[in-house]
Structure 1
Amino acid sequence: MVLVKVTEIAYDIMMNPVVLLIDENELKALPIWVGPFEAHSISLALQGICLDRPLTHDLLIGICDKLEAKFSMVIINDVIEGTYMAELHMWHHDQELVIDSRPSDAIAVAIRTKTPIYLSEKVAEGFLALKDLLNEEQQKELKKLLDPGRANEFKKSLH
């Protein structure tokens, strides 16, 4: 399995939201197109913004907390005819549970709970080199976003 991280929501030429899953070496990315509501939820989580009322992903996490279930990992495990499949792995009273999920929902939960996101080897075959995916200016901007100090800088600007 390949560990990935999410740093931003990008938009394709038709303004459809795309989650970029970046490998640990920050050389490759896997773009996954998501719906606008899921993109909004993922974006809020990336920015550390909590709303007064829970969104669906927050509700799911709240229910799992009350039931004492803990998320252990997300695996984007398959791609069938261009559609990605994912699993939420969790533990509940020493029993591992594996829940089928859309990747966008699994990613939204993973970001909120700081749960690692993995790609199966099959899915990782779809990685694209960042240099092929983004132009030089976009690569520089992405490198800035990937800088660990930048998250704290962004959160400060929200206050």
Structure 2
Amino acid sequence: MIPVQVKEIALDVSLSPVVLLVDEEENRALPIWVGPLEAQSIAMALQGVITPRPMTHDLMKTVCDNLGASVRSVEINDIHDGTYYAKLNIQTISGECILDSRPSDAIALALRTGAPVYISEKVAEYTLSVEELVDESQQQELRKILGLEGPEDLKKSLH
């Protein structure tokens, strides 16, 4: 398994949210398209936003905490027909439990629990070099077109 970090939520040219996972050297990136609600949840976790009432992924973390379980790691382990698959590795009182998950939910939970995120060698074949991704000037131009000047504006646009 290859360790990755959640770099950011970006928007593609059709304004669909994309989670960018990068390797430790930040040479390779894996874009995973996610829904707007999942993107909002991930963005909020990246920015440390705490809501007055728990959102779904906050609730999942609270349930784990109260049941004495902990998220040990997240593995984005497979891809079929353009859809990524993930596993949550959870340590419970009675042993390890591996749960099937959508990558977006697994990432949102990993960010809240501090669990590491990994990709399999098979999934790593779908990574792109940083140069293949939209460069910073193109990203800034897209933000201008959308009327988004900074990360806070992006967060607002995902609400």
Q: Normalising TM by the smaller chain, what interval?
A: 0.7 to 0.9
2:98 — aligned with what? 98
SS of alignment partner, residue 58 of structure 1: helix
Q: Does 1:12 align with 2:12?
A: yes
Q: Distance in 2 between matches of 1:64 and 1:45?
A: 17
Shift of 1:93: 1.3
Aligned pairs for 1:4-83 (under 5 A) are 4-83=4-83
Shift of 1:136: 5.5
SS of alignment partner, residue 126 of structure 2: coil
Shift of 1:94: 5.0
TM-score, length basis structure 2 = 0.85
2:110 — aligned with what? 110
Runs of 4+ with deviation above 4 angstroms: none
Taking only the aligned residue pairs, the percentage that are identical comes to: 55
Shift of 1:137: 3.4
Per-residue Cα deviation, 1:78-134 (whole angstroms, up to 9, x for no partner): 000000000000100150100100000000000111110000100011010001112
Shift of 1:135: 2.3
SS of alignment partner, residue 50 of structure 1: coil
Q: Distance in 1 between matches of 2:93 and 2:9?
A: 35
Describe the shift of the 1:93–1:78 C-alpha distance in structure 2 as closer, same or farther (beyond 3 A): same
Shift of 1:62: 0.5
Q: Distance in 2 between matches of 1:136 and 1:68?
A: 43
C-alpha RMSD of matched pairs (Å): 1.5
Paired residues, number: 140
Q: Does 1:2 align with 2:2?
A: yes
Shift of 1:7: 2.1
TM-score, length basis structure 1 = 0.85
SS of alignment partner, residue 123 of structure 2: helix
Shift of 1:34: 0.1
1:157 — aligned with what? none
Q: Distance in 1 between matches of 2:54 and 2:85?
A: 25
2:156 — aligned with what? none
